[in-house]
Amino acid sequence: MTTLSPDVQSALAAQAIELPSWAFGNSGTRFRVFPTAGTPRDPFEKIADAAQVHRHTGLAPSIALHIPWDRVADYGALRRHAEDLGVTLGTINSNTFQDEDYKFGALTHHDDRIRQKAVDHHFACIDVMDATGSRDLKIWLAEGSNYPGQNDMRSRQDRLHDSLRRIYERLSDRQRLVLEYKFFEPAFYHTDVPDWGTSYVQVAALGDRAMVCLDTGHHAPGTNIEFIVMQLLRLGRLGSFDFNSRFYADDDLIVGAADPFQLFRILVEVIRGGALNNPEVAFMLDQCHNIEAKIPGQIRSVLNVQEMTARALLVDREALAAAQRSNDVLTANGILMDAFHTDVRPALAAWRESRGLPADPLAAYAASGYQQSIEADRVGGAQAGWGA
């Protein structure tokens, strides 16, 4: 069995992956949203479910919220609820994509009233952050156009800068703005923040506490995502990851499910760039469990990240650097592939047990009875989903 060195063990022990509250609500496609027994009815129940993931894995100590999906009357009470369950509230995600006014844009809109409304929504999110103790405000914009000529792309960039500047100025010294990019959808011709370059240009114009969010599902097929990871770390602007898997578009499937090798390569660059367990870089999931069980889906996801992190930590960096210096192409590639092909699962199971965690977190969750209890208890009320 592969053994995990003390250095690898301490790196793994410090790993933390933030869970998205929306992963615990119902989700689906534009064709159908399938309800699931036991789905939370409110943010308090979502947090209780997220705490189960942390309980069985020790990997997920915080939960990202989405406003207004997770709007509550008392954020202090939500914070205390989380802390009572052994977790904390993390990133606050704004939402300017589900309001009638935003049909043609929000932070880029040419109508000052609508743009002010979108800026005000972000101010309200910052108020939430003050109450929850969150550090990061994550902004993803569903803005763009469907047809050439529909909009003036350049003035939209100028208005975007102005809107972001106003939001950024409202943040306290300990808070950050994180701007997420996505190459298409819901706009199909042009998107206002389509790529890491645009996100970088926009955040660099704001200040040191503005960063880029890299969602692994937001790139065209074939994109070398680990190159982008390297570059943003090199520039000191990689603020966070939204991890998930894609086969076609923004599929939001379980991270590591579609392409574990890509996840490994990304984590190799994370380690190379000093970002593993670096508090400046937040590791989050951004996923939806449309047909699979949600809590086990999240457990599988964080375990996938842990497994690929362990493999990436096994890369013999010294030997790799020597092979690269001597242009030994096959040896260099072989060193990386040796680490990728190492089965670390038995070693991770034993290591988990040595720390008082279940060797098999999925089996432990199944045996805990939690799923049966929420299915029995959560009867009546409206199940949470997009818009709830």
Partner interacting with residue 298 (select from ligand PSV, Mn ion, none; CB below 5-8 Å by kind): none
- Shortest separation between residue 309's beta carbon and ligand PSV, angstroms: 22
CB 183 within 8 A of CB 223: no
- Rule CB under 5 A: choose which of 42, 70, 136, 286 binds Mn ion: 286
Sign for the pseudo-dihedral over CA of 312, 316, 318, 323: negative
List the one residue out of 258, 282, 259 whose CA is nearest residue 270.
282
Q: For ligand PSV, which is the closer residue by CB, 94 or 371?
A: 94
Partner interacting with residue 269 (select from Mn ion, ligand PSV, none; CB below 5-8 Å by kind): none
Q: For Mn ion, which is the closer residue by CB, 47 or 288?
A: 288
Kindly provide the residue ranges of all beta strands, DSSP E only, lying in the chain, ordered along the sequence.
19-20, 62-66, 88-93, 136-140, 144-145, 176-180, 190-191, 210-215, 238-243, 282-285
How many residues touch Mn ion (CB under 5 A)? 3
What CA–CA distances, in Å, run from 320 to 183, 234, 309, 314, 338? 34, 20, 17, 11, 11
What CA–CA distances, in Å, run from 354 to 9, 137, 319, 363? 11, 37, 31, 17
- Shortest separation between residue 292's beta carbon and ligand PSV, angstroms: 18
- Rule CB under 5 A: choose which of 49, 143, 215, 226 binds Mn ion: 215
- Shortest separation between residue 140's beta carbon and ligand PSV, angstroms: 4
- Which residues contact ligand PSV by CB under 6 A? 22, 93, 140, 180, 182, 215, 242, 250, 286
- Shortest separation between residue 220's beta carbon and ligand PSV, angstroms: 15
Name every residue whose Cβ is closer than 8 Å to that of residue 212 and which is 6 or more positions away in sequence: 178, 179, 180, 181, 196, 199, 200, 203, 232, 237, 238, 239
Judging by DSSP bridges, how do beta strands 144-145 and 88-93 pair with one another? unpaired
Total residues belonging to the chain:
388
- Shortest separation between residue 250's beta carbon and ligand PSV, angstroms: 5
Q: For ligand PSV, which is the closer residue by CB, 235 or 249?
A: 249
Find the part of the chain contacting Mn ion (CB under 5 A) among 6-14, 15-23, 57-65, 285-293.
285-293
Partner interacting with residue 264 (select from Mn ion, ligand PSV, none; CB below 5-8 Å by kind): none
Partner interacting with residue 250 (select from ligand PSV, Mn ion, none; CB below 5-8 Å by kind): ligand PSV
Spatial separation of the C-alpha atoms in residues 129 and 132, rounded to whole Å: 5
- Shortest separation between residue 166's beta carbon and Mn ion, angstroms: 23
Binding mask 216-255 for Mn ion (x = CB under 5 A): --------------------------x-------------
User: Identity (one letter) of the amino acid at 222?
Assistant: G
- Shortest separation between residue 50's beta carbon and Mn ion, angstroms: 17
Partner interacting with residue 93 (select from ligand PSV, Mn ion, none; CB below 5-8 Å by kind): ligand PSV
Token pair for residue 288? 């939806």
Helices 294-313 + 345-354 axis angle, to 10: 110
CB 180 within 8 A of CB 218: yes
Q: What are the residues binding Mn ion (CB under 5 A)? A: 215, 242, 286
